[in-house]
Each structure stands twice: as structure tokens, then as C-alpha cells.
Structure 1
């Protein structure tokens, strides 16, 4: 049987988890995502405000579609535990959106303004890919497609937290995703993948799951690029 070695992140991703194995199999794409210029500049505090503002607006629209993905997960649930997981995932996303509203208020943008923004191509490509995976596949396919976002933000924030200073312009964003509440959401997502792998086919599904994870990770990098270049 082919081995899929894992790559751990202490306190977040256990080495023997499915997520660690997916991350290890897509190491090049994962580094391009988590080490993207947008992320590096945000950590340095040098990211242009207009880039961050564009990203935040699109991420608000992105999260609306991700909330729909968790609603789809609830519909596809075959056990009460899966219904609860979907409900908690949607609640976490709706809570996350409050951060976006809070940050965008400094530019005079409220929830209605954010909802009225046109979706960028990168936003449409990523969110519809996730929804399509969920519609065509099962709960495991859907949660694998969601995981680069859910867990990736937690990992990125842990790395960026090391460069925080009192006057860092993006301290609130970094602190939100590095905080225990969001880190708990990410750890729960990692555990859900492990449970679903056992319940829904085992290791023989790895090639297809890796392909899904790789594409979702590439689309994450494209989303950062959209923010950096202000593309529509």
C-alpha cells in the first residue's frame, strides 16, 4: 500500500492525521499558498491598505458561499454527529464575518455595502469549486475541499503572530485567526477529516482526495493574488 507521510504543525495538525498527509502530498502548492507574497507582506506590515480592503470585501462574499457549503454538509449528513459538525461550522463562519464588518467599518463599509460588492473571478472560481465537490461527492470530498481554507488560515496566523508588534496594522486579523477560538475550529476540522476517512472508504480514496486538496490550495493562492493585484 502506498504511504502518504504526514507533515505536522505542533498544536494544530497531528502528523498521523489525514490533513497532515494531504498537506505533505501537496507541499509545493501548500507553500505557495501559506507563503504567498500577500501573506508575507501582511506579516511584515507592508501590505498596501487597498489590497487588504479588496481582499476583505471579497472574503466576506467568499464566506457567504462557504456558509452555504456547510448548509450542504448538513443536507448530506447521515448521522446526528455530522449535522452538529455542519452547524458548528456554519456558526463559526457567521462569527468570522463579524470580524470583516468590524474591520471594514473604518472605511465606512457596512454589511449591506459588502454584500453588494461584485464577486471577483477568483472568488467565484474557488467557492463554486468547493460547492461542486460537495454536490458531486460525499461529506469527505466536501470537507477536504473546505480544509485548506479552514486549517490554512490557522496555520498562517500562528506563523504571522511571531512578527506582531503593538502598532502592527494587521494585528486584529492575525490575532483573530491565531486566537484559541479559531484554532479550536481548525483542530475540529482536522479531527472531522480523520473520522470521515474511517467512515467513508479508507486510504484507497487518497489519490482523489489529494487531487481535490491540491486544487483547493491552488485556488487559495489565487485568492491571495486577487487581493494583491486588486483584480476583479
Structure 2
């Protein structure tokens, strides 16, 4: 679904493009997941989306921690300021996210009290572990499938003729992640990866970075699947 759009975000030869290619078929499973297709045509069951929204709030909290770790791991003020800005943006987004959840019938108390799904726990702790065990490049590579992948998905859904926007309850989600503001965030992440790799990367690091990127991508797939699995468990 997204192959033609990939160069818009990551030029061929960029570190992200190389890692993305090495992550197949898992990357395809992530960006063209059944959950994603359901967002596009509006057929995703609302219970699955509400569950995803609640877990996404918990996810944001841990990603704020990851970017706080990026401040510590940074070796210059430019990277420290960028990571600090990301922390502030994510923390502000938690308030916006809670208001968005309210529109889906989920109160702040409901969301805050949610137990963390194992899929959310596995993904966020993996990102934090890679950041603590490695350097700033390892951490940014672990974050990239989420940061850049959501923009790729948003752009692809907007361009896909199968996508229905009129009357689609998930239109706001699609337009947010396929919108200019978020796409700019994704492009900045791609550029950051290239800059960090030029500073501290060698070809010898590619296999390790690729393993990190691919594992994070696999965990993204599980994060989508989490929303569908909860429906299956409800039927049991």
C-alpha cells in the first residue's frame, strides 16, 4: 500500500530507507495491517479503536520517558534541545489525547486506570532498553518505526482510493498522521537518523541497527493486533 510513498519521507540510500527495506516483510505487515485498513475504510470495530486509544495514552507516557532519555544520551546542545522539545510536545499531546478519548466515550479516569496491555509493555520497554543499553543512535532507530511509520501510514491512507473519508469515524486520525505537520515531524526524524549515523555510525553497525529497527517494527505489528485481539477475547 505504501511503497510509492516511501521516498517522500526517506530518500533512497538514507539510513531509514535501508533499515525499512531490511525489515521486510514485517514493515509491510505493520503499515498494511488489517487494523490500518479498517481505519481507512471505516470498518474497524469501534471497540478495537477505543482499546487502542487507551493503550496509546500509556504508550505516549513511555515515549516521553524515551525522549527524556535521549536528552541524557545526547552529546551536544542541538540534540538535547530537540529531545527536550519532543518531551514537551508528547506531554502536551497526552492532554489532547485524553480530550480525543472523551469524544469516544472514555473519561480521563477510565483511561488513566487502564491496565497496560502486554503488547504496549513489550514495545515501550524495548525502546527504553535499547536506549539505555546503546547510544543516541540506537535509541532514535528504535523510535523511528513509530515516528516515521505513522506518517507513512497516514499518507498512504489519504492516497489510497479504497479510503473513505466522508462519514469515516477515523477521519481525524488519518488526517492527523497524513497531515503536513506530522509529516514534517517524520521527515525531521529521518534527517536526524542520517546525521547521527554520519557522526557515529559505520557500516559495521548496520546489522545491529537493523535488528533494533526490525524488532521495533514487529512490536508495532503486535500493537495493532492488540486492538483486534481484545475483540476475540470478548467473544470467548
Task: Give the equivalent residue in structure 2 for 1:39.
Answer: 36
Question: 126, 131, 141: which is aligned to 2:128?
Answer: 131
What is the Cα deviation at residue 179 of structure 1? Answer: 1.2
Task: Give the equivalent residue in structure 1 for 2:147.
Answer: 150
Would you say the 8 A contact 2:5–2:152 is kept in 1?
no
Residue 63 (structure 2) pairs with residue 63 (structure 1): no
Count of residue pairs the alignment pairs up: 227
What is the Cα deviation at residue 229 of structure 1? Answer: 1.2
Q: Distance in 1 between matches of 2:69 and 2:181?
A: 24
Would you say the 8 A contact 1:157–1:175 is kept in 2?
yes
Would you say the 8 A contact 1:8–1:20 is kept in 2?
no
Task: Give the equivalent residue in structure 1 for 2:47.
Answer: 50
Would you say the 8 A contact 2:27–2:217 is kept in 1?
yes
Residue 14 (structure 2) pairs with residue 27 (structure 1): no
Q: How does 1:159-174 map to 2 (within 5 A)?
A: 159-162=156-159, 163-174=163-174
Q: Distance in 1 between matches of 2:129 and 2:64?
A: 14
Would you say the 8 A contact 2:52–2:227 is kept in 1?
yes
Which segment is superposed worse, 185-194 or 199-208?
199-208
What is the Cα deviation at residue 95 of structure 1? Answer: 4.2
Residue 229 (structure 2) pairs with residue 229 (structure 1): yes
Q: Distance in 2 between matches of 1:221 and 1:111?
A: 27
What is the Cα deviation at residue 93 of structure 1? Answer: 2.2
What is the Cα deviation at residue 194 of structure 1? Answer: 0.4
The structure-2 alpha-carbon separation of the partners of 1:164 and 1:89, relative to structure 1 and needing over 3 Å to count, comes to farther
Task: Give the equivalent residue in structure 2 for 1:4.
Answer: none
Structure 1 runs (4+) greater than 6 angstroms displaced: none
Task: Give the equivalent residue in structure 2 for 1:215.
Answer: 215
Residue 13 (structure 2) pairs with residue 16 (structure 1): yes
Gaps of 5+ in 1: 1-6
Q: How much is the aligned-residue C-alpha RMSD, in angstroms?
A: 1.9
Which segment is superposed worse, 206-215 or 174-183?
174-183
For each residue in 1:180-227, what CA deviation from the matched residue of structure 2 results, as whole angstroms up to 9, or x when unmatched?
Answer: 111111111101100111111322200000000010000000000001
Residue 110 (structure 2) pairs with residue 113 (structure 1): yes
**Secondary structure class of the residue paired with 1:186:** helix
* TM-score (ref. length: structure 1): 0.92
Gaps of 5+ in 2: none
Which segment is superposed worse, 158-167 or 185-194?
158-167
What is the Cα deviation at residue 228 of structure 1? Answer: 1.1
Q: Distance in 1 between matches of 2:16 and 2:110?
A: 36
Would you say the 8 A contact 1:92–1:185 is kept in 2?
no
